[in-house]
Structure formats: C-alpha cells, structure tokens
Chains A and B, each alone.
Chain A
C-alpha cells in the first residue's frame, strides 16, 4: 500500500508461473524435485559453487514483464536443503500497450536447517513502465537466507519508470522485515531529499541467520562517496542484518552491497 493511485486492472498481459522445490538428495547434496517454468520465466539447474548446494538460474526467455503481465515465482527449500537462485540477466520492466501495471510476485519459503541464497540481477524500470513487485519470504526459525534486491530507475540515459516493490519477511511466523519502496513518476517525494534524492539505483541485501542471535552485529556505515552512493548495514530487531544502498547506478549499488555482505556475513556453514 502506498500513496500511489491504483493502476488500471491488468487486461491482456501474459500470465506465467514458475516453481522450484529443493530437497536434500540423501547424499549430502540438494535435489530439485520440482523445477517448472513457463512463458518468460524459465528456471534451469546450473553449475553450483558448492557441492551441497543446488544452483538455479532463471533465464528470461522473452522481455518481461510488460505492462499487464502477471508473473509469479515460487520457491521452497525443504529442511536441510541448500538452494541458490540467480538470473541470467537484468530484468527489464517495460510499458505495455494499454498503460496497465505489471505484477511480479515472488513467494519464498525456507524450512528448518535449510538455506536460500536469492541473488537475482537488478530490476530495471524502463521509461513509461509500471511494475508492482512483491516478495514474501517465510523463514523457519532455523533457516538461513541471503536475499538481494536491486532496483534501477530507467535504462542508461532514460527517464525512470515506476516501480513499487514490497519485501515482507516473516521468521517463525513473526514479522522480521517489511519494506516497500515506491519510486518513479507519480510517487510523491520519491526523488526528494528524504527518499532517493538524485540517486537512481537502490539495493537491499538481507542476511537472516540464527547465528546473529548470539553475535548481534553493530551498525556499519559503509565507506562511500556521496557523489557515487551511500549505504549502511543495520541489525534488525530479529537475528538478521539489512544492507541498504543507494547509488548513481547499479554498479555502485552492487559494490556497496558486496561490501556490506563482507562486513556482516556469518561464517559459511
């Protein structure tokens, strides 16, 4: 919910859903009993950095989302499994023919003792686009999560599109993080000195890990040049840290998020 006028209902867009389920394979690795995609969302198993982890890369088979599209991506990591998900390229939100808003809903669940590394490439709001994205994560108390979200307003040299992205994370059924960023034309004050100012890219990196229960980190101001970007790592009220980064471009934001991840990361388990 934001102070943004509701968009016309989606009319003739694409509806597509993809689904990933990761489970222990019984030999110390992770299997993917479900790996299903359609339309613009095609998840593929790719080579993983670690033997115990299943790596999935979501390949955008066509430009998406367009105005009016409704995409949905579900992933569940069953107890003890380890899943890493990335994307082959940045996702570009483009305007549709009738000005309708596009929707992209991501639903993630990470069970006890499981780990999910959700590290897609940036989402770029092209001029004239309008996308509402929601990411909802259900974490078991003993689950681990690394989740990155990067939002870029406009392609190079282009006016920004509109982007509303809500990230809701629950841990053991209780709210851990709930953040919605609404950016672009029609959002009051988004380019003002309280929200984004002159920056055109922002990113969030969330690390949730029971390890933080015993090792609560402090705030870390990530060294940055305000002309380029700025970022801070903050401990949340629960066992998790959030890196919030703003930058003139996606590259700066990625650099700041990586610095935050290095500053906060619990030992690899």
Chain B
C-alpha cells in the first residue's frame, strides 16, 4: 500500500478543489457551526477542522482507503450508513457520491466504477466512490485516504472564507497547520483499511455528536447558503 510516484499527479487532479464533483456547494457543517457562533475566527475554525478531521475525516479516509485497496464497495457503503446516524448526512454523502461518480467516470473510466454506479444509481457514500476513483486513477489506498482527509477540512475552510469573509490567508494557514495531523489520520486510516479487508468492523467509527445534531438542524433551515 504505497504511493507510486508515477501516478502522483493524478492525486493532485483528484484532490483539487476545482474537481467538478459538487463539493463547492457543501460546507461540511461549517455553516451551521458559524450560525451557532461556534466558529467565528481562524482559531475556532482550526478547532472545528481538527475535530472533523479526527472523526468524520478519519472514517471517510478509511472507507476511501479500503475501497482503493479492493474491499467490497457495497459492504463499505453499508458500513458508511451504520457510521452516519443523521439521515441528512447520509443523503449528502450519497448525493456527493453520485456527483463524484460522474466526474470520476469521465476522468478514469473503470469497470469497478461502472459496477458501483449500476448497483447504487442514486449514489454510494462519497468516500467509497472516491476510493474506487483513486484506484482507477492508478493511486493507492494512502492517496485515497489523503484525498478524503483533506476534503474533510478543505470544505469547511473554503466555506468559512465565504461565510465569515475570513481572510483567505488565515483560512489556508489553518489547513497548512493541520497538515501533519492530516498525514497521521491518513496513515491510521490505511492501517485500519488493511485490517478491514478481513473484518469490516476494523474500520474506524469515530463520531462527532455536534456535527450530527447540527446537520439535521441545518437541513431544516428554510434559507441557507450551503447544501450541508
């Protein structure tokens, strides 16, 4: 499970914030946290991102790594459901999974992506699709984990720039400071994904109660800027 340098550039394509897979319309819970007054500056944004990285980010990274390593994507999809008590977040994950599927099939056509698209026409959980996309692009489980973990923090940071008019240098500096922790989460995720090839329960299930509670409240807002 190592990154081959020959395909490293594909990781840049996959993890690019401009990769057209719908992420731009989602704040990863940041909009709700900002409205509640819990995120208001770079420090609180960093604390939010750190918490999300160690919970939802770790789970997404492990799902993506396991999918890239060849675990059964339908069982991973079921494992993702069990790890997502909030129906709003399950819906978001499937919606983004469907959008990721469209972009991934256009970029790296593969039978594995086709098979999952046929089995889950309304969308599989996004990290599972991301993992298959990584494999189709010639990337390994660690790359997939990095892409998923990075997405877990880059989405909220971008949203905070739009919602709080936060200085974009401050927001990006938050991401830079989190980079070592992100590397560690990706490594943990890959270790878990390796064990999960034998026993899916080895996948992490780290949860963030406030993200779950706030996601449901946010989904019921009549007016909001981000879809989640």
Contacts and interface: CB of A to CB of B under 8 A. Distances in A.
Interface of A: 1-3, 166, 168-169, 174-182, 187-197, 202, 219, 221, 226, 230-232, 234-237, 242, 244, 246
Contacts of A176: 82
A211 B29 CA distance: 32
A191 B54 CA distance: 12
Contact of B87 (A3, A189, A219): A219
Nearest to A230: B213
Interface in B43-100: 44, 47-55, 58, 62, 78-79, 81-88, 90
Contacts of A192: 44, 47-48, 50-51
B9 interface: no
B40 to A, nearest CB: 9
A188 B82 contact: no
Nearest to A164: B206
A192 B36 CA distance: 13
B216 A232 contact: yes
Contact of B83 (A178, A190, A191, A219): A178
Given A179-B83, A193-B39, A188 B54 contact: yes
Contacts, number: 144
Contacts of A182: 54, 206
A168 B207 CA distance: 12
Given A3-B185, A3-B188, A202 B209 contact: yes
15 contacts: A1-B205, A174-B78, A189-B47, A194-B51, A194-B55, A194-B208, A195-B211, A196-B209, A221-B220, A232-B216, A234-B86, A234-B87, A234-B212, A236-B85, A242-B85
Contacts of B192: 1
B57 to A, nearest CB: 9
Interface string B195-211: 00000111111111111
Interface in B159-185: 181, 184-185
Nearest to A241: B85
Interface string B24-47: 000001000100101100001001
A168 B88 CA distance: 21
A174 B200 CA distance: 11
Contacts of B84: 237
Contacts of A194: 29, 33, 47-52, 55, 208, 210-211
Contact of A178 (B82, B184, B185): B82
Most B C-beta atoms less than 10 A away, residue of A169, A179, A189, A242:
A189
B119 interface: no
B217 A221 contact: yes
A103 B176 CA distance: 36
Contacts of A168: 201, 205
